[in-house]
Amino acid sequence: MELQLEYYLILAAGLFCIGIYGLVTSRNVVRVLMSIELLLNAVNLNLIGFSSFVDPVEIKGQVFSVFVIIVAAAESAVGLAIILAIYRNRNTVDMERFNLLKW
């Protein structure tokens, strides 16, 4: 069985779906952040898959995924900082308690 591009893409899409499910349903903020990482990894999988099958010479996708990993790390740092800031004010990491904008 030859490994094909579609399998990578479907695997990435599945990962993306799981990430979105986790993003929407989790009540813990850290887990939301982890779900976002899952999403970014699904994207990276896409980029690398496309660069291996469609653009094996210049492999621009791999460069993009390097940038994505960098930005994901930065985003996690900022995200965790924001979570800490909220936690210090509200003493909780429950997503459903952060509803100041409720109607």
Partner 1 sequence: MSNVLNTIWLIPCYPLLGMGLSIFWSPGLSRRTGPRPAGYLNAFMTFLALLHSILAFAAIQNQSPEYFSVSWLDAASLQIDFEWSVSLTKTVALIVVTGLNLFAQIYAVAYLEMDWGWARFYSLLALFEAGICTLILTNSLFFSYVMLEILTLGTYLIIGYWFNQSLVVTGARDAFLTKRVGDLFLLMGVVALYPLAGTWNYQELTIWAETADLSPTAATLLSLALVAGPVGKCAQFPLHLWLDEAMEGPLPATILRNAVVVCTGAWLLILVQPIIAISPIGVTTTITIGAITAIGGSLIAIAQTDIKRILSYAVSAYLGLVFIAVGVGETQIALTLLLTYSIAMALLVMAIGNIVLSNVTQDVTLLGGLWSRRPITGLSYLVGVAAFTAVPPLGSFWTLFSLTDHLWTTQPWLAGVVLTVNGLTAFSLLRLFCLVFAGETKPMTVRSPEELWLMVLPTTVGAGFALHLPLFMANWELLPQTDNINSIPVFALMASSLVGIVSAVLVYGNNRPKLAFIPQAIKDFFAYDCYTVKAYQVTIVFVVNIVSRIIAWFDKYIVDGFVNLIGIVTMLSGQGLKYNNSGVAQFYMLSIIAGVALFGIILCFPFLV
Residue 26 φ/ψ region, left for φ over 0, alpha for ψ in the -120 to 50 degree band, beta for the rest: beta
Number of residues that bind partner 1 (CB under 8 A): 14
Q: How far is the CB of 44 from partner 1 (least distance, A)?
A: 19
Q: Does 24 bind partner 1 (CB under 8 A)?
A: yes
Exactly one of 2, 56, 88, 103 binds partner 1 (CB under 8 A); that residue is: 103
Task: Write the DSSP symbol of residue 56.
Answer: T
Q: How far is the CB of 67 from partner 1 (least distance, A)?
A: 22
| Residue type for position 29 | V
